[in-house]
Amino acid sequence: MAVIRGQVAPIVPGSNESKLMANTLLLFPPGYNHGWRGKLGRICEVVVMHFSTVPGVIERMVGEHGFLSVPLNSAKKHLLVRLANRLKPHYRYPILVSELHAERALMDLSLLLMGNVKESKAPQQVGVGWNRVVDAENWLRQHIGESPSISEAAHAVGVSTSQLRRIFQQVRKKSPKQILLNLCLEKAMHLMAKSDAKLEGIAAESGFSSATNFCRAFKSHIGETPTAWRKKA
């Protein structure tokens, strides 16, 4: 999320009240619980974008620091506003090249983030554990429609199931099973937002055994039914 005008502050679990930020780009990893606060009665303009994956070097930086905050000058704020405006029609009415536009925007954002990091502070090597986690997540994402298991993911990346669980806890602070559920829900939300397919088909493509199990998991983790969420989306 980028603060274009006004001031906001992130609210994260277990931390003291953070100070208000202006002209700042903040990047949070998937599943990172947080909220926002601002000044009462003050207008704030923000740009918000969500991506399923980011380049490995960015993911590594976010993992090391919890989340990233980067100061924005006028030119960078204008760039972010242009990116958001360029993506809006593709989000509302996806076409064949919409994914290419999203990837292009992601690269522009990544370069913006890296442009504020000194070369000496940028991660030069990604640990084996981190690579295993990223590889496993990518494999699970690619095979979601096949209802993949954690043991299959572990085999695909060359570790035992117990090793993969341990690595995920070290890197993500979550189990592979939790991450897989997040990926399944993410896939389902993407499908519901861009098509009018029935929930049975959405559930199958997203790795759920039935529409009933999908609806139960969705309500438990998102806080509302898929039908209610879909109307808003």
Mean pLDDT by 10 residues, the chain (233 residues): 89 69 84 77 88 71 69 90 89 79 86 63 50 86 91 93 90 86 89 88 94 94 90 77
pLDDT at position 126, please?
Answer: 42
Residue 110 confidence (pLDDT): 83
- Domain 128-232 falls in which CATH fold? Arc Repressor Mutant, subunit A (1.10.10)
Q: Kindly report the pTM of this predicted structure.
A: 0.53
Query: Where exactly are the structural domains of the chain?
Result: 2-114, 128-232
Note the pLDDT of residue 29: 76
Is the four-CA dihedral 216, 221, 223, 224 of positive or negative sign? Answer: negative
Query: According to the model, what pLDDT value does residue 15 have?
Result: 60
User: Which tokens go with 58?
Assistant: 């960015």
Taking alpha carbons only, the member of 87, 69, 80, 134 closest to residue 109 is 80
How far apart, in Å, do the first and last CA atoms of the chain sit?
19
